[in-house]
Amino acid sequence: MLSQKVTLTATNGLHARPAGELVKLIKSLDGKVRLATAAKSVDGASMLGVLSLGVKSGVEIEVTVEGGAEEQNLQRVVEFIAAIKD
């Protein structure tokens, strides 16, 4: 199990469109991915779960991966979140 924190810099936070793209990426990976804020932890493959985090700009998200190619999966998810701009 590996984890890393990343700060969301998108001005509009993690709204439906980027959240949907993130869930799609996570579902394509082998292994499990959890996303957590200071208040809550959810399954990264659940659209409702990801949206329920209510992540706004400047909020830190902890990404935890387990199983499969953990290092590669962690890097892909962290880079995706860091690249969200709208």
Is 15 labeled as catalytic in the residue annotation?
A: yes
- Residue 81's pLDDT is what? 98
Average pLDDT of the residues of the chain: 97
Alpha-carbon span 58 to 26, nearest angstrom: 22
Average pLDDT value for residue range 49-60? 97
Q: If we measure between CA atoms, which residue out of 46, 41, 39 comes closest to residue 20?
A: 46
For the entire predicted model, the pTM comes to 0.95
23 sits in which H/E element: helix 16-28
- Residue 86's pLDDT is what? 81
- Asked if pLDDT for residue 30 goes beyond 90, the answer is yes
**Burial grade of 42 (CB within 10 A; 0-12, 13-18, 19 or more):** middle
Which residue among 3, 4, 13, 15 is the active-site one?
15
Average pLDDT value for residue range 51-67? 97
With beta carbons less than 8 A apart as the criterion, state whether 61 and 13 touch: no
Task: Give 60's pLDDT tier (boundaries 50, 70, 90).
Answer: very high
- Residue 29's pLDDT is what? 97
- Residue 26's pLDDT is what? 98
- The most distant pair of C-alpha atoms in the chain lies apart, rounded to whole Å, by 32
